[in-house]
Structure 1
């Protein structure tokens, strides 16, 4: 396998775009090569097969969607105001990188059919949920594990709706939906 980190990243970005536009069934080496604007056959030099491409795309999508730690600035505020700002920030990041989040949803669906991807996603999302719970418990200074789980589920649903069928929520308060959702689930 070829080792050019920038080219590999470009191919993985292309894979994310293909997943978002065509779904997992459209993820082929040729589609990735075309999206990346590289000669046909390039992706096959970097990934041993389609399963390897899917696995690496699954790992990469988390990198792509996570703000670099050194660049991340938490939103201002505290208490409920901070929690609302954080949820709004997540919503805005999803809108900015719509393809990345759509690819993540597509990979989650593919994980329902592939035990290796399911195990990977279960582990990654479980760690993420444990971090959300720990952060909430620290913020609230109490052991409420249900509230952050409900918030996680509600935000996942909101993002799925907003990114896949935005017309359903059109005119329903947009940013205010985030405020109302958080305030309903996590009152101070």
Structure 2
């Protein structure tokens, strides 16, 4: 009994550094870049560095498009993966586009999607903020895919005003 108490006390006083529990399939926020790239290179013929120009300062990320063999989450095909890394080369944001527009097929595979709520004044974006960061998703009927994104807390703080700015620009053009 004393040993169990000692272990619990040590865990409470000296917690291990914990990475986010936000995950989709093979990817969990906080994963090392090398591990993420190994997964991407296993399924995609080309993984290229891109720059997301939606941010005030373009954010570099790695984009993998059109897998060379079936890449599935459960029974749902993955078409596109975007991976953003922090200064320590840890995954800080992930974007996955699935080849389906039926979100009910994805929700059992990414349970946090069930908590996401429609954001008024958008073209159907859903989001949920949690202690570790955020999850957003939207359906594109133009491309026939659903994009799900997760981001850590620090990146979420950048994403929120960026999305608000983009939402405002979209409303202004309508």
**TM-score category by the smaller chain?**
under 0.3
Q: Using CA pairs below 8 Å that are at least 6 residues apart, which structure has the higher relative contact order?
A: 1
Q: With structure 2 as the length reference, what TM-score do the two structures score? A: 0.26
Structure number having the greater strand percentage = 2
Structure number having the greater helix percentage = 1
